[in-house]
Structure 1
Amino acid sequence: MAARRGEKLREHILMAAKDVFLEAGFERTSMDVVAQRAETSKRSLYAHFPSKDALFSGVVALVRELYLDRLGSPEHYVTPDRADPADALVRYCGRLLQLLLWSSSLRTLRMGIAEAERVPEIASGYYEAVFEAPTARISAYLSRTWGLTQEEARETAEAIVGRTVHPELVQGLLGVRAPIAEQPSKTALATDVDLDLIAASVRQLLPRKPARS
């Protein structure tokens, strides 16, 4: 196998570091262990990430990219056989909750919360990915599909996320709700989360009729 170099090595280190951070937590993670797990030298590791904070920041950025890619936008949930825009929004919110209740996501969130006071910029970046970006995508979808003003769309999006995601996420973070053990797939969406409950909340908060069909 050819030696990894440059960006490929950096990505490989981040994937290895993500697993180590999740297994050991921030405090107990050492650069030695990360280098060993990534099968690279400490010199190469420090060439890409001069400190553990820099490495953690890179991992958070990687998680953000993977998370948002898996989530997509509400439009991605509109299909020929399920063209109702409200139904697409219900499934988008369900997918958002499903991804957040994944055991890996919950561990990452707990770690971000634990380090928020020490490295607030990293915690705020993770917050932007987990909550702000999905809320903004819902807001844009509401504006385009229901013709809401920017302010109305944002207010409705925040209400939808607050009603459909936050209660169960808090339960997951506190261990009241069992996490989703395996990486969640869209095919298991209806099994992993209560789409009927989400639908009741979403439809209650939506305007009666989309501006366009």
Structure 2
Amino acid sequence: MPAACPEKSNRRRGRPPASQAGQFDERILEVATSLFLDRGFGRTTLDLVAQHAEVGKSSLYARYPSKGALFAAVVSRSIQTMFDHLAPVPQGLSLVQRLQAVGEALIEGMLHPRCVAFMRITAAEAGNFPDLALTAYQDSFDGAVAYVLMGIGETDLGAVSPGLTALAQRFVEVTVQPVSFQAAFGVDASLLRPRASVYVHDAVELLHKKIAMTGWE
């Protein structure tokens, strides 16, 4: 869970210089992440984010004109952070071993408390922000598929055959999505983690022959 929002200080608020714009945006998103996780979507306001991030309201509204826009940026950042922290797959493994490692790493990433929390918040707000919910789902799914393809040695994702992409998609559907669904509905991650290797093993067994036929070995 992100650290608590920073205490107030005497730092001057307002529009940051161009050289500090990246740090300014990062501070806003970090504070907004903490507030959304701690207070939920409904009880978080842009004014509250500006207060805790110690930034001018005009600067915040210039970047994020609505709470939905800020929430979308926070969700996108959370998804990207998860994929950035996934461990690379060790080299020199068999196809089965690579798929096992990839599947377990994806499940572990999806079970991070921050990821689970945002899955729940996004699902709860799907009625109000259907496009955001769909985009968050698609970004997570596409990122997982790309990780599977890269983890087993596909370096040029633009050149991957449709058949191979479909198999990677099916692998994610069989391994990651059932666990994510359970976690989003409240099943404790400590109960799901021990099952992860079994889920992945079963998926590998199911898809191995089809994958081998594509020359993925």
Contact 1:139 1:150 in 2 (8 A): no
Cross-structure match for 1:54:
69
1:70 to 85, 88, 105: 85
1:158 to 154, 161, 169: 169
Q: In percent, how many aligned pairs have the same letter? A: 27
Cross-structure match for 1:198:
200
CA displacement 1:110-150 (0-9 Å, x = unmatched) = 111122232222222211221122124435767959xxx83
Distance 2:67 2:61 in 1: 9
In the TM superposition, what are the counterparts of 1:33-44 in structure 2 within 5 Å? Answer: 33-44=48-59
Structure 1 residues 132 and 209: alpha-carbon distance in aligned structure 2, compared to 1, 3 A threshold? closer
Structure 1 residues 12 and 192: alpha-carbon distance in aligned structure 2, compared to 1, 3 A threshold? farther
Structure 1 residues 92 and 142: alpha-carbon distance in aligned structure 2, compared to 1, 3 A threshold? closer
Cross-structure match for 2:60:
45
Distance 2:108 2:150 in 1: 21
Task: Compute the displacement of 1:105 (Å).
Answer: 0.8
2:106 to 93, 96, 101: 96
Letter matched to residue 78 of structure 1: P
Structure 1 residues 154 and 143: alpha-carbon distance in aligned structure 2, compared to 1, 3 A threshold? farther
Aligned residues: 195
Structure 1 unaligned runs (5+)?
181-190
Structure 1 residues 14 and 192: alpha-carbon distance in aligned structure 2, compared to 1, 3 A threshold? farther
- Scaled by the length of structure 2, the TM-score of the pair is 0.75
Cross-structure match for 1:79:
91
Distance 1:87 1:192 in 2: 18
In the TM superposition, what are the counterparts of 1:123-202 in structure 2 within 5 Å? Answer: 123-139=133-149, 144=154, 150-175=161-186, 177-179=187-189, 194-202=196-204
Does 1 or 2 have the higher relative contact order (CA < 8 Å, sep 6+)? 1
**Partner SS, residue 96 of structure 1:** helix
Structure 1 residues 192 and 36: alpha-carbon distance in aligned structure 2, compared to 1, 3 A threshold? farther
Distance 2:148 2:65 in 1: 37
**Partner SS, residue 71 of structure 1:** coil
* Aligned-pair Cα RMSD in Å: 3.1
Distance 2:166 2:58 in 1: 49
Structure 1 residues 164 and 8: alpha-carbon distance in aligned structure 2, compared to 1, 3 A threshold? same
1:21 to 25, 36, 43: 36
Letter matched to residue 70 of structure 2: L
Structure 1 residues 39 and 193: alpha-carbon distance in aligned structure 2, compared to 1, 3 A threshold? farther
- Scaled by the length of structure 1, the TM-score of the pair is 0.76
Letter matched to residue 60 of structure 1: V
